[in-house]
């Protein structure tokens, strides 16, 4: 037993430390169903997630890609016919304005851009449609049957015409100009115009006067015919338009030139009369406008007078409020004042010298005082004279400023009147200048038009005529399928991640460590693959339930038996320095597999040679007796009621000689009174001394308080969680509630676990048990 326990201790999953590394934080989110998508995420977690959801991803990829393949290869092939048209720019002429600036009168770039736009003009498309009779051409309409619902609907209501009727209609339409079409007829052609424009491509060749015109269609002949007719009609229409409009343009320009000449002459006479009537200078230049020069001079003199007045005003105020005359600049600069201040200073020194020997009544001291007083009076008198002088200067400056301001305002009025007249004059000059520029431009244009009338060379021609395309250019089936494949792959992975993010169950030992902060004591395989193992190991005449608790550990080499051996080893080393003797098994909610876990834990300890007692404390829904096929007429409640001795209530099986079973007994109406009694506490204490291990089965901890009461009476608690249905929050809430009561929670038993998704267990059982299970790994699962 000790060797087995030591070997099981090698499994790193007996501790809460993740197998991904000791430096991983305890509270980080971890793999598989709980993949963390942060910087610390392990690539192995991603691969496990993708492998786990592989059928979902494959289904999305197959459905989307197959649909795209069917759609892409159901579309007809597309052919492209093209022609190259040369659009030479017209000859550029230049003109000179009144300031000597030379600029072009015609923009060649604008001309070429205009012609390129005209190539896709709807009016041009209508001419092509009428010329080729595309609205009755079944080959043309066939290419849009699937993509253009308008043509399909229209084909149902279009009146069928005979060949002769269509021929006469075509001749009549070609002879008539499309500009004469009625609005109703124009609206009838709009769907076909939209078809042409949608598949027409105009591509100017960079740094050349060449333009490539291409058209795509499912019929190569139709594509060639459209390009050929389009380029021909475009060149004919442009030539006809330019020839027809040139004569009218020359007549209009000549008439405009004559009108401008007369208008400019009239405006020149009006300008001259305006200058004379308002006494304005006839010519511009220095000295021509006396009013403006006089206003500028008065403005300068007024600003100087204002500065002078402000300076004198500041000096006067400073002198009037000065306590020390020397702070006044005019006083400080006076030599007489400086001499008097020096004399007062000398007298003060003499008086101070005398005062060391004599008193203030000494004649010499009095004489010095009298002389200093006279000097101070002179200084005060000088200060007053300076203030009076500054006041006189200030008054004079104010008077001079007032006169200048009056003269300035008077001259400003005259200047304003002249300015208003100048505005009117400027407007008249601007109008004359504008008419002159327009006259020059029209004259240059007339000259250019005369030259162009002589030069009848064509500016446009088809350089490369269209041919019937031999190879299709589309649709891009492979690229669509490839893009669809990538998009569906990413969508499938994204859907798997989304589903995974909403999965809040405990799928692995790392999830238990990360979310519940408890070690995983064992991972019990699910019944999905365990059934294949048991099918080969159990006799077909079994009368009990299809897979009961004892059947899971019947074969010591089965994955479930190994898992419970793992649980036994985990419990032996769960407490440092001592082996747990009383262990409570509970869960968060019913049908988690807690009873099965309690039974097989007790059986595993008994198989290892230890004396074990299994106590059924689930007084609300006891199930232990049913798994062993024992009656439940007497049991724990019988002893707690004081009706029988405890030793007589123990049950045993020949198959497990070291295992004793204490069933629940008759269900009481108040289970809490029984389980929380002193008798129950004393009973557990007594049983722990009699047996090496006492395994206690209890009701779910989140539903009833029975497990909470029992958790304080045992050495430790095991929480059983179903990896497929139990939420993380529920297990954590059960753990927190038990720990708040002072219970010692050993860890979590992860029931119905998927061992194939686990690095350790999946590889372990694949290596050791694949041969016995027909090449299939006995997988995860447990009875309810």
Say if CB 273 and CB 163 are below 8 A apart. Answer: no
Residue 659 has pLDDT above 70, yes or no: yes
pLDDT tops 80 at residue 117: yes
Identify the weakest region by mean pLDDT among 142-151, 390-399, 401-410.
142-151
d(CA 336, CA 385): 13
Average pLDDT, the chain: 76
pLDDT at 490 over 50: yes
> How do residues 327-377 score in pLDDT, each as one tens digit?
666 665 666 777 777 777 888 888 888 888 878 788 887 788 888 887 777
pLDDT digits (tens, 9 = 90+) for 411-427: 676 666 666 666 777 77
Higher-scoring residue by pLDDT: 717, 318: 717
Rounded alpha-carbon distances, angstroms, from residue 189 to 30, 121, 182, 197: 65, 14, 11, 12
Residues 6 or more apart whose CB falls under 8 angstroms from that of 227 comprise 81, 82, 83, 213, 214, 215, 466
The maximal CA–CA distance of the chain, rounded, in angstroms, is 154
Q: How confident is the model at residue 544 (pLDDT cuts 50, 70, 90)?
A: very low
CB contact set of 671 (below 8 Å; sequence gap of 6+): 619, 620, 699, 704, 706
With 70 as the cut, is the pLDDT of residue 478 above it?
yes
Q: Are 36 and 45 in contact (CB under 8 A)?
A: yes
pLDDT of 22 higher than 80: no
Does residue 555 carry a pLDDT above 90? no
C-beta of residue 702 within 8 angstroms of C-beta of residue 590 = no
Among the listed ranges 135-139, 151-155, 354-358, 746-750, which one has the minimum average pLDDT value? 151-155
**Which is higher by pLDDT, 262 or 662?**
662
Residue 578 confidence class, pLDDT cut points 50, 70, 90: confident
Q: Grade residue 553 by pLDDT with cuts at 50, 70 and 90.
A: low
Range with lowest mean pLDDT among 213-217, 534-538, 666-670: 534-538
State yes or no: pLDDT of 406 exceeds 60: yes
Domain ranges of the chain: 290-438, 509-769
Q: Examine the pLDDT at 244 and tell me if it is beyond 90.
A: no
- Fold for 509-769, please state it: Rossmann fold (3.40.50)
- What's the gap between Cα 617 and its chain centre? 56
């Amino acid at each position: 037993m000790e060797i087995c326990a030591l070997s099981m201790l090698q499994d790193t999953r007996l501790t809460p430390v993740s197998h991904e590394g000791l430096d991983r934080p305890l509270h980080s989110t971890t793999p598989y169903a709980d993949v963390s998508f942060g910087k610390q995420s392990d690539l192995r977690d991603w691969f496990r997630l993708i492998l786990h959801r592989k059928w979902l991803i494959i289904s999305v990829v197959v459905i989307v890609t197959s649909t795209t393949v069917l759609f892409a290869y159901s579309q007809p092939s597309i052919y492209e016919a093209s022609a190259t048209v040369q659009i030479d720019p017209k000859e550029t002429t230049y003109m000179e304005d009144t300031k000597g600036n030379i600029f072009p009168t015609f923009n060649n770039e604008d001309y070429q851009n205009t012609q390129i736009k005209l190539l896709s003009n709807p009016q041009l498309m209508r001419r092509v449609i009428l010329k080729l009779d595309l609205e009755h051409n079944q080959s043309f309409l066939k290419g849009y049957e699937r993509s253009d619902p308008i043509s399909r609907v229209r084909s149902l209501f279009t009146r069928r015409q005979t060949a002769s009727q269509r021929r006469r209609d075509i001749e009549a339409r070609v002879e008539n100009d499309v500009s004469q079409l009625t609005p109703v007829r124009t609206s009838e052609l709009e769907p076909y115009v939209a078809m042409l424009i949608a598949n027409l491509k105009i591509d100017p060749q960079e740094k050349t006067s060449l333009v490539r015109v291409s058209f795509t269609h499912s019929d190569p002949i139709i594509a060639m015919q459209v390009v050929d007719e389009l380029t021909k009609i475009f060149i004919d229409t442009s030539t006809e338009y330019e020839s027809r409009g040139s004569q009218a343009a020359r007549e209009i320009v000549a008439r405009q030139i004559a009108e401008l000449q007369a208008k400019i002459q009239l405006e020149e006479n009006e300008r001259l009369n305006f200058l004379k009537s308002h006494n304005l200078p006839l010519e511009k230049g220095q000295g021509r406008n006396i009013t403006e020069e006089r206003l500028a001079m008065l403005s300068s003199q007024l600003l100087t007078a204002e500065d002078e007045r402000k300076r004198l005003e500041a000096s006067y105020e400073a002198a009037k409020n000065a306590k020390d005359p020397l702070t006044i600049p005019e006083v400080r600069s006076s030599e007489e004042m400086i001499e008097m201040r020096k004399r007062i200073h000398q007298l003060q020194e003499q008086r101070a010298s005398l005062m060391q020997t004599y008193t203030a009544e000494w004649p010499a001291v009095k004489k010095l005082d009298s002389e200093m007083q006279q000097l101070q009076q002179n200084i005060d008198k000088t200060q007053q004279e300076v203030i009076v002088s500054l006041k006189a200067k200030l008054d004079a400056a104010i008077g001079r400023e007032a006169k200048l301001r009056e003269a300035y305002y008077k001259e400003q009025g005259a200047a304003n009147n002249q300015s208003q007249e100048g505005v009117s004059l400027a407007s008249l000059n601007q109008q004359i200048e504008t008419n002159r520029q327009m006259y020059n431009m029209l004259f240059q244009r007339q000259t250019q038009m005369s030259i162009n009338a002589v030069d009848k060379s064509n500016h446009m021609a088809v350089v490369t005529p269209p041919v019937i395309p031999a190879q299709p250019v589309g649709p891009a089936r492979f690229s669509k399928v490839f893009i669809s494949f990538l998009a569906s792959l990413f969508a499938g992975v994204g859907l798997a991640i989304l589903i995974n993010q909403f999965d809040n169950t405990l799928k692995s030992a790392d999830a238990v460590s990360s979310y519940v902060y408890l070690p995983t004591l064992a991972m019990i395989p699910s019944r999905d693959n365990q059934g294949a193992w048991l099918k080969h190991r159990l006799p077909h005449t079994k009368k009990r339930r299809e897979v009961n608790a004892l059947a899971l550990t019947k074969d010591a080499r089965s994955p479930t038996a190994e898992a419970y051996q793992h649980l036994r080893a985990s419990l032996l080393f769960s407490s440092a320095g001592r082996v747990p003797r009383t262990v409570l098994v509970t869960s968060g909610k019913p049908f988690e597999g807690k009873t099965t876990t309690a039974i097989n834990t007790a059986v595993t300890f008994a198989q290892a040679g230890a004396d074990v007692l299994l106590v059924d404390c689930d007084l609300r829904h006891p199930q232990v007796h049913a798994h062993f096929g024992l009656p439940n007429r007497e049991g724990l409640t019988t002893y707690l009621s004081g009706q029988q001795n405890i030793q007589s209530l123990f049950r045993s099986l020949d198959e497990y000689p070291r295992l004793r079973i204490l069933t629940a007994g008759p269900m009481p109406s108040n289970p809490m009174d029984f389980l929380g009694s002193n008798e129950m506490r004393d009973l557990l204490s007594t049983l722990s001394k009699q047996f090496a291990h006492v395994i206690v089965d209890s009701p779910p901890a989140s539903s009833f308080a029975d497990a909470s009461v029992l958790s304080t009476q045992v050495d430790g608690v095991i929480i059983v969680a179903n990896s497929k249905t139990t939420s993380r929050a529920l297990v954590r809430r059960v753990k927190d509630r038990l720990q708040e009561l002072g219970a010692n929670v050993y860890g979590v038993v992860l029931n119905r676990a998927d061992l194939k998704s686990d690095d350790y267990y999946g590889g372990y059982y694949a290596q050791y048990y694949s041969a016995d299970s027909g090449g299939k790994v006995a997988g995860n699962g447990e009875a309810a």
